[in-house]
Amino acid sequence: MAETLTAFQNTKQAFIEETTFGVAATETAAGAFPLSVDGNEFNLERELLEDPTISGSFSKPPSLPGMYSEDIGPTVSTPLRGIGTLSEPAWAVLMKSIMGAQVEGSDGICGLGCTTSVIQVKSGAGDLVAGQLIYFTTQDEIRAIVSEAAGVITLDIPLISTPAEDDTFLAGINFMLASSGHPSFTSYTHFEGDKRIVYAGCLATQMTLEMAVGQIVPLTFVNKGTVEPVTDYTAQVVTPIIDTITKPIRCQGTTVFSRFSGVASGTPTTTETIITTPSYEIAIGDKIQIDVGAGVFETVLITSVSGDALTNTTLGHDAVSVAASGGDTVFVLRIGCSNNLGDTIELTIEMEDETEKCISATSGFSGRKPLNRTVTFTPTPYFKSWQDLLLRDGSIGSALQIILADLDGNYICVYIRNKINTEFSLETDALMRTGVTSQAAKDNVMGNDHEIVLAVFQTS
């Protein structure tokens, strides 16, 4: 069993990105990390080597300390906050470590001729990158960028409403997956009585975000160090800069939507579209997105549904300017509680890693390398249809977007481009829940390193 320490109420924590892997970075005031009361552990496990010497009696010689465990390091939890009064969230260095990239582009202003999927830029936004999320403040919608060139931005999922000239959009701070370049950091933990632990050469190897209706959202990181930890009696020499004004985000008023693709059949009209044997259930109140020409999509409300999953489904909807044609790809947006996500959602990014051992290294380790990542999404939906089962069996993916916000203008958006169900079961509790586990996978639009993007925006 791992030897761990649990944080006390007066424990102080800091994380500082390293310039050179494994060389402890100097603690700074801006590196402060506000801990939650629960969920923090500091692993100091070490192997003890039995001395094999024959001593002339049956008594064993004392054991000798060996290498520290490959899992040494701090596991920390913090209440999820937006940017607030800081230049970036306090958890930014850990998120950058597990995701691989932190992107901060320039805000922009829309010009004339925008559509729901192509944005003409009037000014700004010349440094945006593919996969990055941008927030359209007037439309109150967040979308991913497929490409940006010569003042033209192509969006992944079309907006529901068209931006007008001089509408603004924010670039925010985007944390994006990468397959290399994950930065290391140094962990400083100060306990009561000037007791301190320093872990150098740390990488974040797991991030968990737990969203439960009505509750504060905890953000937990499992971090592993590489250099032998230092335990000493050193007082903190900086005054931590902690945002005490911005309140933790609660899971209330959360905006969630899923997007499913389908194929129109027959002869659709401007107010009726038949979708060929969808693997998902469509409900009144969902929305349909139809390409009305030249890549311009219109999004309208679905007002009637005839047919179940795996049967041709006839959708009545508000009028679009041009009807779909048979064989066209159309999209269904499922917004809010119609997502059937239940009362909790757990999102986990896990990075498999391995240490590099060196016989001349003081700690025995010369480095730590990330090897493989898995993005897992676990909701607690109530059973309403066979949709999740059908999606699992058909290996059919859907886009998922979750927006958490507070009253101070902080927005945190999680975007999964291609969510595939991997497990399904039924549970016999009072409300008949469905056990569903999903994983994010590469898709044919965004390509590698865009399974998940987490972005933070501040509007005030």
At 199-235, the pLDDT tens digits run 999 999 999 999 998 899 999 999 999 989 999 999 9
Residues of the chain above pLDDT 90, percent: 66
Tokens of 172: 């925010």
∠ CA 180-181-186, rounded to 5°: 135
- Domain locations in the chain as residue ranges: 106-171, 259-339
Give, as one character, the DSSP assignment of residue 33: -
User: Which DSSP state fits 445?
Assistant: T
The residues, any chain, with a CB within 8 Å of residue 244's CB and separated by 6 or more, are: none
Q: Give the pLDDT confidence of 159-199 residue by residue, as tens digits.
A: 999 999 999 999 999 999 998 889 999 999 999 889 999 99
pLDDT at residue 337, rounded to an integer: 66
Q: Is the pLDDT of residue 92 over 80?
A: yes
Q: Report the pLDDT value the prediction gives residue 202, as an integer from 0 to 100.
A: 95
Residue type, 421: N
Reported CATH class of domain 259-339? mainly beta
The label of the residue with tokens 């192997």 reads: 47
106-171 sits in which CATH class?
mainly beta
For residue 202, the surrounding DSSP H or E stretch is strand 195-212
d(CA 338, CA 259): 12
How far is Cα 324 from Cα 266, in angstroms, rounded to an integer? 10
How is residue 236 written in tokens?
């903190």
What's the Cα-to-Cα distance from 272 to each of 240, 319, 439, rounded to whole Å? 60, 8, 34
Task: Decide if 357 contacts 376 (C-beta within 8 A).
Answer: no
Rounded to an integer, what distance in angstroms lies between the CA atom of residue 170 and that of residue 265?
Answer: 38
Distance CA 290, CA 212 (A): 34
Identify the DSSP state of 204. Answer: E
| pLDDT, tens only, 107-152 | 999 999 999 999 999 999 989 999 999 999 999 999 999 999 999 9
- CATH fold match for the domains 106-171 and 259-339: yes
CA distance readout (Å), 432 to 140, 210, 381: 34, 22, 9
Burial 332-366 (b: 16+ CB within 10 A, else e): bbbbeebbbbbbebebbbbbebebeeeeebebbbb
pLDDT band at 6 (very low <50, low <70, confident <90, very high): low
